[in-house]
Amino acid sequence: MSGRLFIDIACRKRCGDGQTPCGKTFLQRRCADDDRMTVALTDVLPGGGEGETFVEIDRPGRQATIVECDDLRTFVLRNGQLLTAKRKCRITGEAQGIRRLLYTSWFNIEVGDRIVLATEGVLRGGWGSNRFPFGWGADGAAAFAQALITEDPAMSSAALSTALIGRAVANDGGNSAGDLAVAVIHLRRARSVSLFSGIEPSGEGETDLFDGEAIALDDLSAFDRVCVMLADRREFLFDPSPEAEICRKLTGGDRVMIRAGMCEAAKSGISPFDVKTRCDLSVRMAALLEEQYGKEVDLLFV
């Protein structure tokens, strides 16, 4: 798992004139069978037209494909610079009387790449002003994003998308009339955490799977308290206890590896009740981290 990219995705929206966003739809889906991630952003434009962007990330193949329709724009940042990818244009819908421009681009992905999807309202920020008479544009948005990333290379997708929305509104004098949406896809190495219970973390091959922090949690009572805290996230945010600290470490990672010692524990004379309890707690922890916190969890009984 350590060789796989982690895909950090976030989308931020802002209502124009205090209304609920209309027509700004964001979707993301992961196909577990071939480990592909698809992201879509749709923008209903004034007058009834639509702009659409689809991004597919082939994680094993290390390739991204971007499809842009009409006015929705996407740009890619790599090492603080704007990446120029191969791009083809195709005209569709003429037979139905609806002429649309379809742009397709693709590139080999690298660790650190960021793909930014922006609706027309974001790129038109400042339209008619002395500074941006024709709007901020994709170039202006990309330059702003580059400056932020240069200052903070670890900036999250949520923070970057929020900042882009904020600057677009500022370009409009602090009150954007239109609805805005920005989605950011960041391809980075996972922040990994490994938890070992009833087994030493020095087992063969174990320490090579993750390059993150290792946590030992052998006491079953403490293990149970950690699970209880995970079930109610408010309970551990400001708690100074060791169990709360374990919760913060687990939820701060992207992927969590849980290794529970079962066979050796049974051989060493530990009661079957304790062995089953460790098993049940490990399964419960994995479910909480996956379902409530969206973590990728690797659970193994050894």
The residue extents of the domains of the chain are 5-188, 192-301
* Sign for the pseudo-dihedral over CA of 184, 185, 186, 191: positive
CATH number corresponding to 5-188? 3.60.40.10
Q: What integer pLDDT is reported at residue 45 of this predicted model?
A: 58
Classify residue 72 as left (phi > 0), alpha (psi -120 to 50) or beta.
beta
Please report which confidence band the pLDDT of residue 6 belongs to, taking 50, 70 and 90 as the band edges: confident
Q: What integer pLDDT is reported at residue 43 of this predicted model?
A: 75
What percent of the chain shows pLDDT beyond 70? 85
Residue range 114-125: average pLDDT? 86
Q: What integer pLDDT is reported at residue 148 of this predicted model?
A: 93
pLDDT digits over 84-110, tens only? Answer: 888 898 888 776 777 788 899 999 999
Pick 192-301's CATH classification: 3.40.1010, 2.60.40, 3.90.320, 2.20.25.
3.40.1010
Strands 213-216 and 192-197: parallel
Lowest-pLDDT choice from 46-60, 198-212, 281-295 = 198-212
pLDDT higher than threshold 70 for residue 18 = no
Please report which confidence band the pLDDT of residue 206 belongs to, taking 50, 70 and 90 as the band edges: very low
Q: What integer pLDDT is reported at residue 299 of this predicted model?
A: 94
Residue 234 to residue 128: CA distance in whole angstroms: 46
Which two tokens mark 113?
């790449």
pLDDT digits over 234-267, tens only? Answer: 678 788 999 999 998 998 888 899 999 877 665 6
The helix or strand, by DSSP H or E, that contains position 74, with its residue range, turns out to be strand 73-78
Average of per-residue pLDDT values in the chain: 82
* Sign for the pseudo-dihedral over CA of 284, 289, 292, 296: negative
Q: What integer pLDDT is reported at residue 160 of this predicted model?
A: 93
Q: What integer pLDDT is reported at residue 23 of this predicted model?
A: 62
Instruction: Name the β-bridge partners of 43.
Output: 24, 51
pLDDT higher than threshold 50 for residue 81 = yes
| Phi, then psi, of 87 in degrees rounded to 5 | -140, 130
Lowest-pLDDT choice from 102-106, 161-165, 168-172 = 168-172
Q: What integer pLDDT is reported at residue 129 of this predicted model?
A: 74
The helix or strand, by DSSP H or E, that contains position 299, with its residue range, turns out to be strand 296-301
Are the C-beta atoms of residues 266 and 301 closer than 8 Å to each other? no
Residue range 6-16: average pLDDT? 83
* Sign for the pseudo-dihedral over CA of 55, 56, 59, 61: negative
pLDDT higher than threshold 60 for residue 156 = yes
Q: What integer pLDDT is reported at residue 2 of this predicted model?
A: 41
Residue range 26-52: average pLDDT? 76
Q: What integer pLDDT is reported at residue 50 of this predicted model?
A: 63
Which two tokens mark 114?
């960021």
Residue range 214-237: average pLDDT? 90
Angle, CA of 247, 248 and 249, to the nearest 5°: 90
Please report which confidence band the pLDDT of residue 207 belongs to, taking 50, 70 and 90 as the band edges: very low
pLDDT higher than threshold 50 for residue 1 = no
Q: Pseudo-torsion of CA 174, 175, 181, 184, nearest 10°?
A: 0
Q: What integer pLDDT is reported at residue 245 of this predicted model?
A: 92
